[in-house]
Amino acid sequence: MALLVDKHRPRSLDTLSYHPALSARLRALAQSSDFPHLLIYGPSGAGKKTRTTALLKELYGPGVEKIKIDARTFQTTSNRKLDFTIVASVYHLEITPSDVGHTHDRVVIQHLLKEIAQTQQLDALARHRFKVVVVNEADHLSRDAQAALRRTMEKYSPNLRLILLANTTSNIIAPIRSRTLLIRVPAPSVEEIAQVLTSICARESWTPIPALHARIAVDSGRNLRRALLMYEAVRAQHEVVTADTPIAPPDWEALVGVVAREIVAERSAACILRVRAKLYDLLVHCIPPTVVLKTLTWALVGLLEEGGDDGVKGEVVRWSAFYEHRIRLGSKHIFHLEAFVAKFMRIQESYLMGMDLDF
């Protein structure tokens, strides 16, 4: 059985449940004769991908849903072979260049896009002469790959349109931003998520429980995908679901919560050692270090709530941002996580002692 997320994913622009103005705009773009390059950005779980697929359907009709997966091999200048997967239909194709890593994504962009751009649309009856290339995770493209996109976008515009999907525009170089139409997809509001959950209840013929829906919506942090997964988990774990059914957080989140409580309760070298084992456990289970650090920070700040001192919280966030940056730059993640834990203990201790130890 398919997950709720996939089962009830809207397939066309008309069935999208929120941001009606945006849907109207996308439909208008799809129907107009000139379709620009798009850069669609927004937080994860906001519905960027869903909107893209719906837009493609609007552009070409149901033919885009017939997709096949294609494995390709590229050769770099240093004769290394790169394996690359492409998801394609007759009208469009979808690539995730960051799969091949930061150093080689340029090769894929250069070869693949040019090849596509130089061939014409095969289907003579197609509604548009151009093909669409959807680039996932465009904000993870290296500078070189983005530079390679620049002229390609202008030169081959008769045969090719790009849809770039990104979480943020910060890492997209200015020349690309100036060549695309920016479309922002904000995360759905808490009420909108609750509405979506209710409508899914109707479709699954479950009895809707508004209070539970509201709680899940708040807990999901305005991430619809997460909300749906949480809801499904709650439904699967409990026979009878009521308004106060506990929403079990994912295992890793629970573990981070435990870590946070331990650190706040005890500040000693022994505690760091204990915590270290747990942090290692998280990393071994492939939880990205940034996510661990962020969750830990929010948990710590939440625990400090009772103390209610702004100074400490500000300090915690400050060092969290500092070590997060270090994680990006460094190569051994556990060091920085531990350093943050130690730093937090020190901040907390000096605050409780009422002394201003210099940091």
Partner 1 sequence: MAGFFDIKARKDAAAAASSSKAPTTKQETPRTQPWVEKYRPKTLSDVTAQDHTITVLQRTLQASNLPHMLYYGPPGTGKTSTILALAKQLYGPDLMRTRVLELNASDERGISIVREKVKDFARSQLSNPPAGPAGVEYRKKYPVPPFKIIILDEADSMTQDAQSALRRTMETYSKITRFCLVCNYVTRIIDPLASRCSKFRFKALDSVNAAKRLEEIAGNEGVMMEKGVTDALVRVSEGDLRKAITFLQSAARLVGATQAASGKVKEGDAMDVDGESGATVTVAIIEEISGVIPDDTISRLQSAMQPGKKTSRYSSVANVVTDMVADGWSAAQVVSQLYEKVLYDETIPDLQKAKITMIFSEVDKRLVDGADEHLAILDLSLRVADVFAEE
Q: How many CA atoms lie within 13 A of 117 on its CB side?
A: 18
Q: Tell the burial category of 129 from Cβ atoms under 10 Å away from its Cβ (0-12, 13-18, 19+).
A: exposed
What are the residues binding partner 1 (CB under 8 A)?
A: 24-25, 27-29, 31-34, 36, 41-43, 46, 77, 110, 114, 129, 143-144, 147-152, 154-155, 157-158, 168-171, 174-175, 177-182, 184-187, 221-222, 290, 294, 297, 301, 308, 310, 313-314, 317-318, 320-322, 324-325, 328-329
Q: Which residue has the tokens 């960027």?
A: 48
What is the closest distance, in whole angstroms, from the C-beta atom of residue 172 to partner 1 in the complex?
9
Rounded to 5 degrees, what angle do the CA atoms 141, 224, 99 make? Answer: 20
- Compute the distance between CA of residue 261 and CA of residue 77 in angstroms, rounded to an integer: 52
Q: How far is CA 280 from the centre of its chain?
A: 24
Residue type, 181: L
Q: Name 88's bridge partners.
A: 68, 93
What is the closest distance, in whole angstroms, from the C-beta atom of residue 43 to partner 1 in the complex?
5
Specify the 3-state DSSP secondary structure of 71.
strand
- Compute the distance between CA of residue 48 and CA of residue 186 in angstroms, rounded to an integer: 9
Structure tokens at 331: 């190569």
What is the closest distance, in whole angstroms, from the C-beta atom of residue 228 to partner 1 in the complex?
17
- Compute the distance between CA of residue 48 and CA of residue 96 in angstroms, rounded to an integer: 15
Q: Between 96 and 320, name the residue whose CB sits nearer to partner 1.
A: 320
Structure tokens at 339: 């350093």
What is the closest distance, in whole angstroms, from the C-beta atom of residue 338 to partner 1 in the complex?
18
Q: Between 96 and 146, name the residue whose CB sits nearer to partner 1.
A: 146
What is the closest distance, in whole angstroms, from the C-beta atom of residue 21 to partner 1 in the complex?
10
* Close Cβ partners of 58 (under 8 Å, ≥ 6 residues apart): 12, 13, 26, 27, 30, 31
Q: Between 169 and 201, name the residue whose CB sits nearer to partner 1.
A: 169
Q: Between 118 and 237, name the residue whose CB sits nearer to partner 1.
A: 118
Structure tokens at 338: 């531990």
Q: Between 147 and 241, name the residue whose CB sits nearer to partner 1.
A: 147
What is the closest distance, in whole angstroms, from the C-beta atom of residue 320 to partner 1 in the complex?
6
Q: Between 221 and 257, name the residue whose CB sits nearer to partner 1.
A: 221
Specify the 3-state DSSP secondary structure of 36.
coil
As a residue count, the chain comes to 359
Q: Between 159 and 198, name the residue whose CB sits nearer to partner 1.
A: 159
Q: Between 11 and 179, name the residue whose CB sits nearer to partner 1.
A: 179
Q: Between 6 and 305, name the residue whose CB sits nearer to partner 1.
A: 305
What is the closest distance, in whole angstroms, from the C-beta atom of residue 39 to partner 1 in the complex?
9
End-to-end, the C-alpha distance of the chain in Å comes to 54
What is the closest distance, in whole angstroms, from the C-beta atom of residue 68 to partner 1 in the complex?
27
Q: What's the count of helices (H) and strands (E) in the chain, helices before strands?
A: 15, 7
Q: Name 181's bridge partners.
A: 38
Rounded to 5 degrees, what angle do the CA atoms 70, 71, 74 make? Answer: 130
What is the closest distance, in whole angstroms, from the C-beta atom of residue 133 to partner 1 in the complex?
14
